[in-house]
Amino acid sequence: MSKPSLMHADTIRRSRYAPHALATTLTLALALSGCGQKPEEPAAEPAVAAAAPKVEAAICQASSSWISNPNPPPEIAAAETFCDFYQFSWQWFLAQTSPANGGSERVFEQNRLMNPNVKSGQCSLPALLGRASAAKMLAARDDKPLGLEDTQADGNAMYDQNGNLLYYNMWYSQAMCESTQQGFASGTFEIKVAWKVLPAPDPTYYSMQATLPGGTAPVTLGMVGFHLANWTQNHPEMIWATFEHKTNAPLCDGSSPLPASGWSFASNDAAACLTANPQPTSGPPNAACDSFKFNTPDKFAAPPPPATNTPDNICRQFAHGNQPGESVNGNNNASNLLAIQQLNDQLVGANGMLTQLPDSNPMAIWKNYEMIGALWTKGGASSGNAPVPNAGGPADPTSPQRGSLELANMSMETFQQGATSFIPNCFGCHNFNTATPLNVSHICDNLFSVDSTGKNCVIPSTGENAAAAPAAPATAEKK
Ligand code: HEC
């Protein structure tokens, strides 16, 4: 099927990932756990309290064992509070970013690497593993007509404040290769990482060496963004979580203090304009800053875009991808934001567990990153239309989407934010339909195959069953 990476946003949305009507009514009759609120219900009164509850009881708790002894759960805790989804997401992130087998690589680098040059059948090829392979996949961009790594997910190149393009890698779990036409196999997850070129070593970034296309000298790449999509039995739509380096981009509303080293994706002058012209609410920046052309991609006649160009100015419309105020579909935005903030605070805040680690600890690097948010659907329903206003129409009150409804990573979906975009969150492109569950992944066709319409991911019957088939006719007669 055609890669949507260089199509216009509305084409991406309509071609393969068209939203569809919702027909699923779901019943959740679950008790609230102590640590959070269910995505669609108001706070419950505590059950008959034997003693005055401690303040901590209401806090979404992080655990130091997530760092020292990661063991991420295979499923969201049964109560399905916002806290449960964010504890799950942080645990998976920390598990994947912890050292692999005591070596210098991290667990995520030991997953299978997506080769953007191979259009189908990657699951039946030998696995590409390790950091050295990742660096090669970046270098391969010249070989591809659609220039996967040098464009945004939305088809727009983006240049950091040094004028360099961003680069990408994607990984998937070995378990994903055991998937069937009915759905992904247990243990399936997908990771997409964005890198920027570090002109000088910067100890605040998780980094790797790579040789860029057209270049001969190795450069250092610093991680700026980390997407993590986890399949679970109860959430076949996947839980779409995203993490960013803390100094990527300021909030458009002018409330972000300038980091000592500046922002990666906004100039100091542009950021100062936001600060001087604060907005009363989330959304686009003040018109007084129009001259800085915030969130406006450069247009190029044909791919690939140049490796260097004028830096872009980027600002984040929604803090933590959270829609403020009331959501039309009953998503409790305030509780969503609180759970994210509480976990970030305990892990990467001023006195956070990661923040307090000595620099010699390999996990200390992650204090420079934070969880932006996550997105899922109620009861694993088809994702349907967005519950937030977007270029395709008003917010849909029947939308089953839950979590950070305006979720975008500034290093990846940079130019697809808010009301002027057709695709205001992950489900805009990773549309989930229970009838065609594999299509939620954009790399499924690379790992397996595609049907004759070019639109649906197909798992050919060349898996374990078919592999055994050649021997069968010789020895056994079918009746
Ligand atoms: C504008 C469309 C668009 C949006 C919005 C979008 N993605 Fe993607 N995503 C893509 C495309 C296209 C790919 C395939 C690789 C590529 O071309 O960059 C992809 C790939 C991925 C992958 C690798 C595995 C896969 O499923 O293909 C992950 C993980 C991912 N995206 C996570 C997210 C998360 C999390 C969000 C929301 C914060 C998100 N994406 C929003 C278009 C989008």
- The three-state secondary structure class of 134 is helix
Residue 267: Cβ-neighbour burial (10 angstroms; 0-12, 13-18, 19+): middle
Distance 108 CA to ligand 1 centre (A): 17
CA of 266 to the centre of ligand 1 (A): 23
**Cα(154) to centroid of ligand 1, in Å?**
9
Lowest mean pLDDT among 302-306, 317-321, 389-393, 468-472: 468-472
Reply yes or no on whether the pLDDT at 348 is more than 90.
yes
Which residue has the least CA distance to atom 20 on ligand 1?
Answer: 442
From 156, 430, 432, 438, mutation site for ligand 1 pocket: most ligand atoms within 8 A of C-beta:
430
pTM (global) more than 0.85: yes
Q: In the predicted model, is pLDDT for residue 16 greater than 60? A: no
* DSSP-derived 3-state class of residue 433: coil
pLDDT digits (tens, 9 = 90+) for 45-71: 444 444 444 444 479 999 999 999 999
Name the residue at shortest CA distance from atom 3 of ligand 1.
429
String of DSSP letters for 381-401: ----S-SS-BTTBS--TT--E
Residue with the nearest Cα to atom 37 of ligand 1?
A: 426
Task: Give the strand pairing for 167-172 and 112-113.
Answer: antiparallel
State the pLDDT at residue 22. 28
* CB of 314 closer than 8 Å to CB of 410: yes
CA nearest ligand 1 atom 9, residue: 153
Q: How confident is the model at residue 216 (pLDDT cuts 50, 70, 90)?
A: confident
The predicted-structure confidence for 113-141, as pLDDT tens digits, reads as follows: 999 889 999 999 999 999 988 988 773 32
pLDDT above 60 (res 84): yes
Say how many Å lie between the CA of residue 31 and the centre of ligand 1. Answer: 33
Instruction: Compute the distance from residue 430 Cα to the ligand 1 centre, in Å.
Output: 7
